[in-house]
Amino acid sequence: MEHLYDKLQILEPESEPLGRIERMKAMEGPLLSWYGDHARILPWRENPHPYRVWISEIMLQQTRVEAVKPYFARFMEAFPDVKALAQAPEELLLKRWEGLGYYNRARNLKKAAGIMMEQWEGRLPASYGELKKLPGIGSYTAGAIASIAYGLRVPAVDGNVLRVISRILASREDILKASVKRQMEEDLKTIMPKERPGDFNQGLIEIGAVVCVPNGQPKCGECPLFSLCLARKEGLLDSIPYKTPKKPRRQEKRTVLILESEGKIAIEKRPDTGLLASLYQFPNVEGRLTEEEVAEFLTEQGGRVERMEAAGEAKHIFSHVEWHMEGYHIFLEGTLPKKYLFVSRHEIRTKYPLPNAFSAYIKRINGES
Ligand code: ADE
């Protein structure tokens, strides 16, 4: 069967299959042509200014394009350039990031912006090596910015690219290994085109995002690399890419307390290290407390419980732990000693960054559930 983009590919006689590097080189024609026809129109692609490419690439780590779009727009409005980002109050920055998760990514953005102000006249350095020295910028992000925004010939290997290329090559190596990624970067460096290196990288990422998808069956019928793909030819799509199985996540039960007094709700700041560092939260304790235990816990702290309602169960999955939560909405007479901050619902919405883990309970206090 002749495939859509076959004419742009070098022919591969059955008796003389392509070697690894030749096969990678053969991706160029069909890939660039397909990307020209199929690239999604995205805000950071329409105007690939280095600052915009940087912010979008950091947001796109661990988060889907559709979810990123509104965050990107709001972030650009609040922090339109490196200077605004460097000067951003941390709490406001985290509030704009709220819901994207992995909050250190936002903190690193601010740190890197500070360095750009001091060392690079408020701009992103136009060098792969210098970009990589900045906080939060690893080889993938440095490669993405350098190639997409500056047109430099460097690879950008993320999980999408690892999946696509290990399938093309039918490589059974563990794509979570740093050495496998490094080798792929090395090989790509030798075969990348001088023209359109940013499109080449984004083409591979795009195939990984919309054709050779991360979960579920790849849409091989739509793939410009159909004829080159050894995993497809050899029936190995279910086992490639290979990843070492992860350790199961720790399961944690927590009891979440929505403490309300005169229309204000108690929040507290989390410790400044560890999970969800420095973000705010509803008071919560490990384990499942009964109503009586909750009342006792609050009385010990000098609280006077007026009434208590069940606030339902909720689950949140982090990378290494799962929280299985049960909530109580407790109406207090008077507030509690210092430990908690009693704030309005409006302040919770607009001022204090509360992680997504609590979204079920935030909805509840806002009457949305
Ligand atoms: N995921 C990561 N980087 C991306 C990009 N530049 N375009 C689309 N999806 C992406």
How many A from CA of 214 to the centre of ligand 1? Answer: 13
- How much is the pLDDT for 117? 98
Res. 10: pLDDT tops 90: no
Strands 321-333 vs 250-261: parallel, antiparallel or unpaired: parallel
Work out the percent of the chain whose per-residue pLDDT is above 70: 97
Predicted confidence at residue 1, as pLDDT, reads 53
Least confident of 3-7, 276-280, 354-358: 3-7
Residue 213 sits at the vertex; the CA angle it makes with 208 and 218, to the nearest 5 degrees, is: 110
Average pLDDT of the residues in 282-301: 95
Using most ligand atoms within 8 A of CB, pick from 47, 60, 64 the residue to mutate for ligand 1: 60
Q: Does the pLDDT value for residue 134 go beyond 60?
A: yes
Catalytic residues: 57
Task: Give pLDDT tens digits for 20-68.
Answer: 999 999 999 999 999 999 999 999 999 999 999 999 999 999 899 999 9
Predicted confidence band at 16 (pLDDT cuts at 50, 70, 90)? confident
For the cut 70, the answer to whether the pLDDT of residue 368 exceeds it is yes
The model's confidence at residue 280, banded by pLDDT at 50, 70 and 90, is very high
Structure tokens at 77: 């409005």
- Band (335; pLDDT cuts 50, 70, 90): confident
For residue 51, the CA-to-ligand 1 centroid distance in Å is 15
| CA pair distance 349, 362, nearest whole angstrom | 9
Output the residue whose Cα is nearest ligand 1's atom 1: 60
Tokens of 355: 């992680």
Pocket test for ligand 1, best of 206, 207, 211, 213 (most atoms within 8 A of CB): 206
Number of other residues whose CB lies within 10 A of the CB of residue 331: 15
CA torsion through residues 226, 230, 232, 233, sign = positive
Q: Decide: 308 in ligand 1 pocket, CB within 6 A.
A: no
Cα separation, 139 vs 132, in Å, equals 6
Cβ atoms 145, 49 nearer than 8 A: no
**pLDDT score at 64:** 93
Q: Reply yes or no on whether the pLDDT at 3 is more than 80.
A: no
- Indicate if the alpha-carbon torsion angle 42, 168, 181, 139 is positive or negative: negative
**Does residue 258 carry a pLDDT above 80?**
yes
Structure-token pair, residue 301? 């702290």
Give the residue whose CA is nearest to atom 5 of ligand 1.
202
pLDDT confidence of residue 5: 75
Looking at the DSSP assignment, which residues form a beta bridge with residue 284? 256
Q: What is the predicted pLDDT for the residue at 182? A: 98
Q: What pLDDT digit, counting tens, does each position of 146-202 carry?
A: 999 999 999 999 999 999 999 999 999 999 999 999 999 999 999 999 999 999 999
- In the chain, alpha helices (H): 20-25, 28-38, 43-46, 50-60, 65-78, 82-86, 90-97, 104-119, 128-132, 139-144, 159-168, 178-191, 197-210, 230-233, 291-300, 345-350, 359-365
Ligand 1 centre distance from Cα of residue 202 (Å): 7
Give the pLDDT confidence of 336-346 residue by residue, as tens digits. Answer: 777 899 999 99
Determine whether the shortest distance from the Cβ of 204 to ligand 1 is under 6 A.
no
pTM of the predicted structure, to 2 decimals: 0.92
- Mean pLDDT within 356-368: 95
In short, whether 202's Cβ falls inside 6 Å of ligand 1 is: yes
CA distances in angstroms from 19 to 228, 235, 362, listed in the order given:
11, 19, 56
Q: CB of 322 within 8 A of CB of 252?
A: yes
Closest to 195 in 3D by CA, of 152, 225, 144: 152
pLDDT at 6 over 70: no
pLDDT number for residue 338: 73
pLDDT-derived band at 11 (thresholds 50, 70, 90) equals low
Q: Cβ(280)–Cβ(352) under 8 Å?
A: yes
Mean pLDDT of 274-289: 96
Question: Which atom of ligand 1 is found nearest the CA of 202?
Answer: 6
pLDDT confidence bin for 7, thresholds 50/70/90: low
pLDDT averaged over the chain?
95
Per-residue pLDDT at 293: 97
Mutate to test the pocket of ligand 1, among 59, 62, 65, 68 (most ligand atoms within 8 A of CB): 65
Q: What is the dihedral of CA 341, 345, 349, 354, to 10 degrees?
A: 40
- How far does the centroid of ligand 1 lie from the alpha carbon of residue 91, in Å? 27
Rg (CA), the chain: 25
Query: Ligand 1 centroid to 145 CA: how many Å?
Result: 11
| CB of 149 closer than 6 angstroms to any ligand 1 atom | no
For the CA of 44, the closest atom of ligand 1 is 6
**For residue 244, what are its two tokens?**
């070492």
Asked if 242 and 175 touch (Cβ cutoff 8 Å), the reply is yes
Q: Could you identify the atom of ligand 1 that is nearest to the CA of residue 209?
A: 9
Residue nearest atom 2 of ligand 1, based on CA coordinates: 60
